Every structure is written in C-alpha cells, then in structure tokens.
C-alpha cells in the first residue's frame, strides 16, 4: 500500500471515530436529586444494563428492507402479527440507542437507521408524523395515521441525539424534533390534553377529552416546551396531573391505578373495547407504562406531583404483592383485582422504576431490580424493561442543557485576507486543518476553528469534502484548491 493511501485511510478511520463520538456516553451514572438506586454498586448496575442491552439488540434491532434503515422487531413472523413494526417500537429504539452510545460504537448508525424508517413511513393524516404501523413488506401502501405515543418518543429521541452527537451531520436532529413537536401540538392535542392520534379530530367517535394515559409524559412535555418555546406543553402537563387526581379520587382512591384510556371531562374510564380490548377502561397493557413516565418526570424535573402519585400506587402494590415484585400481575381492575395470574415485565419493570422516588421503597427497588434484569420474553415487556433499567441506574438523561444554544454553523464567513484551507489561522495548511473541519462537521467544533477559509472546493459550504481535499493536499495528491 502506498504511504499516501495509508495516510488517507488512517484519516478517514479517525473521521469515522469522530462522527460517532458522544457528548454523553454510556454510562452517565447520574444521581437524580432526591431519588434512590438499588443497593448495588454502580458498576454492577451498569453491567446489568449492558447485558440486557446486548440481549435486546440481538433480539429486536434488525436491518430493514430500506437501505440503511433499521427497525425494532415486534413479531417473529407474520403469523404473530399483521405488521412488522410500529412508531411505538421505533420511538423505543431511538430512546435506547441514543442513551447507549458510548457503550455501543454503532449506536448512531442504528439511531439514524431508525430515523430513516420513520422518514419513509409518514402518517397519511399529518405528513410530519409517523404511520403507527409498518407493514411486513415495508410498502407505503400499508401506512396509516399516527399514534401519539410513538411520535412523542421519536421527538424526544431526536432531542437525545442532538445532545449526544450534535445536529451538523446528515440529519439535523434538533430541527426534526421541533418539526414533530409542533406537528403534535397541531394534530395530537385537543381540549388541552393529548389525544389518540392525528386522525381523531376528524372522527367524532374519538374526539375531545379522549386520551391514552400512558401518553401523559411529564418530562417530555417539559422538554417540548423548552425546545419549541410553546408553553402550552406545560399546560398539557398540568391538565394531565389534574385529570389523574380527579380520576383516582373518583375511580381508584385506594389503588391510584389509571385506565388505559380516559374519556370526558371530568375524566372517567373508557368503555370496554373503546379502541383496543375489553380492558380499555382498566389498568392494562397501555397504562402499565404510566409509572415509568411518572418516575422519569420526578427524576428529571423534581415535580412533586408524580412522586405523590407513585407513592399511592406503590403503597397499594407492595401490600397486594407482600412486598414481592415477582408477584406483580399482568393487569388490574381499578380496584386492584388482578386480570391474570402471570408475570410480565411490561407491568413489573415500570413499577420497579417508580420506586426510585422515595427511600420508603428501597427494599422493593433492590429486589425488583434483581427480578427485572432477568425478565426476558418478547418485544413489549423487554423494551419497557430496558428503558426502566436505564432510568433506575442513572443512565437516562434529560436532553435539555443549553437547549436554546444554536448549533455551530459550517457556513464560511468571508474575510478580507487569509490562506484558503487554513482554518486555524496559523498561515499553514496541514492535516490539523482537515481534522478541525471534520470535528466541526460532526458537531464538535474546537477552540480556534475559523471556517472562513475552509471552503476549498468553493461550493459555498464547509463540509467533509473540504477536509478530504485538505488531507489530499497535505500528502501531495492535489496541488491546490479552487
């Protein structure tokens, strides 16, 4: 191999590592204010998360038919389900891959692949959002309208990506997040509360005051408000907690349980088969996510309302299970009668995650961690378990620091004098200039970087092509610039 060729290969290997570098790599080992963790070492918690992630990745993260895209497998084959994946699953995958970057060097590739799946399957009702399902053949003819919960996590995942990798790459994560957030405000909110999807307002059977309780994501609402500048998201958060309080006062005063679907104002449980199944008005396969959302809100914002809600829930649950998380059952009536006799991580893991809010739940949290880290079954419970473990271990962070600081621009600023290619202003064009451009291109601009003379191909923008040309110039493969 020629020395110059070897040098360029090394340069691009270095660029690849820069492109995948993280600002908040796993593990973050956060200690959320006024919360607790299982009585295990941080290194053990991280190891358990890594082990579960390895299992999750092998079981559920799959390459899609679309080049460069990935999907989260919900079913093994068509006999198990009518569709391949969903916006819900895509959102979970984006949350997980963005937070596991640093441990998984390919996390950005997977995240961007999940985004490409979203981008190829837009909602028929609002093109800014994602079709709630993706067919087995990934044909756009199978696309449908959106489901609010999926797009909520997709937008939040894009915010995580912005703070993890920056938004100067091939996907402008923060702009995409803002676009989805604004679209949801327009088509997935009515009567001051989240509704089931972008199709609802045109369908009188599922109109105002019809909501999915697991869409009441307090921390999401806070971030949406900050990034969009729309304080209506905080009003929605307040409305959700008001609805929860009214609902539990009237229908589940002894348990604190919430129904899958809530209708009317004042709120009441939906009727059986309102949207999905006969348990739509009880604590079932949608509402089981609600304790995790409550815990994330308390951990990230310090809002006392989710802590109050969780304590009511856990005081009932610990009594009903004899303080044994392995005895959590898969669904309950609002009065606390179990729907089934079997265990599922979909119900157990969010409840265990909720225990972080109060030292009174220390034993339940520690024993619960040892239960859920070994709970492995299928798509839905396993995704909720991994998300719960990330929060419990202090590795699920809030994408909010310096949120209004604009991302660095790579557009060149004209200057009266200088040397083309010299972006560190030392009057010499060398490999350092190429590396500075590469670092800025992936969202990590360094002190002393001046893009004014970086546009060496004279196309009006400074990007990785310019870095390559400077590297080629440095080793003598090109004699000059435009």
Which residues are known to be catalytic? 88, 149
Tokens encoding 332 = 């309950």
**Of 239, 209, 206, nearest to 221 (Cα)?**
239
Reported for 297-301, long-range contacts at CB under 8 A and 24+ positions apart, including other chains, are 297/217, 297/218, 297/219, 297/222, 298/32, 298/35, 298/356, 298/357, 299/32, 299/35, 299/219, 299/356, 299/357, 299/391, 299/396, 300/32, 300/219, 300/222, 300/398, 301/218, 301/219, 301/222, 301/398
Peptide bond into 344 cis (omega under 30): no
What Å distances lie between residue 298 and 35, 36, 222, 324, CA to CA? 9, 12, 12, 24
412, 451 Cβ separation under 8 angstroms: yes
148-165 vs 87-100: helix crossing angle, rounded to 10: 20
**Of 351, 259, 365, nearest to 314 (Cα)?**
351
Please report the sign of the dihedral spanned by the C-alpha atoms of residue 248, residue 249, residue 252, residue 253. positive
């Amino acid at each position: 191999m020629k020395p110059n060729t070897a040098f360029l290969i090394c340069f691009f290997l270095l660029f690849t590592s820069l492109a995948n570098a993280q600002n908040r790599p796993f593990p973050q080992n956060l200690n959320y204010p006024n919360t607790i963790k299982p009585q295990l070492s941080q290194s053990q918690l991280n190891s358990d998360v890594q082990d579960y992630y390895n299992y999750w990745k092998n079981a559920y993260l799959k390459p899609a038919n679309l080049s460069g895209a990935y999907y989260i497998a919900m079913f093994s084959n068509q006999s198990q389900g009518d569709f391949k994946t969903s916006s819900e699953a895509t959102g979970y995958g984006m949350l997980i891959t963005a937070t596991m970057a640093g441990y998984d060097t390919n996390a950005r590739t997977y995240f961007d692949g999940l985004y490409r799946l979203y981008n190829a399957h837009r909602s028929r009702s609002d093109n800014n959002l994602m079709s709630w399902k993706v067919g087995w053949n990934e044909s756009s003819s199978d696309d449908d309208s959106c489901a609010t919960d999926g797009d909520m996590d997709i937008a939040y995942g894009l915010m995580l990506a912005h703070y993890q990798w920056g938004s100067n790459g091939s996907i402008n994560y923060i702009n995409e997040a803002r676009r989805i957030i604004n679209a949801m405000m327009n088509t997935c909110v009515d009567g001051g509360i989240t509704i089931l999807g972008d199709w609802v307002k045109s369908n009188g059977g599922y109109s105002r005051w019809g909501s999915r309780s697991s869409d009441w994501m307090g921390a999401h609402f806070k971030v949406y408000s900050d990034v969009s500048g729309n304080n209506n998201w905080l009003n929605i958060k307040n409305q959700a907690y008001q609805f929860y309080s009214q609902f539990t006062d009237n229908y589940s005063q002894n348990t604190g349980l919430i129904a899958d679907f809530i209708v009317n104002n004042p709120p009441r449980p939906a009727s059986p088969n309102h949207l999905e199944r006969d348990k739509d008005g009880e604590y079932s396969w949608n509402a089981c996510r609600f304790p995790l959302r409550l815990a994330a809100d308390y951990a990230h914002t310090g809002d006392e309302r989710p802590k109050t809600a969780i304590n009511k829930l856990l005081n009932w649950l610990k009594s009903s299970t004899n303080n044994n998380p392995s005895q959590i059952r898969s669904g309950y009536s609002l009065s606390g009668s179990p729907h089934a006799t079997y265990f599922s991580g979909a119900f157990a893991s969010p409840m265990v995650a909720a225990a972080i809010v109060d030292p009174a739940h220390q034993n339940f949290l520690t024993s619960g961690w040892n239960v859920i880290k070994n709970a492995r079954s299928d798509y839905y419970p396993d995704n909720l378990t991994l998300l719960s473990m990330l929060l419990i271990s202090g590795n699920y962070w809030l994408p909010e620091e310096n949120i209004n600081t604009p991302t660095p621009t790579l557009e060149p600023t004209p200057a009266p004098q200088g040397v083309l290619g010299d972006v560190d202003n030392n009057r010499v064009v060398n490999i350092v200039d190429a590396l500075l451009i590469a670092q800025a291109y992936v969202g990590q601009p360094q002190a002393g970087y001046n893009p004014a003379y970086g546009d060496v191909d004279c196309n009006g923008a400074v990007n990785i092509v310019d870095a390559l040309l400077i590297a080629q110039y440095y080793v003598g493969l090109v004699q000059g610039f435009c």
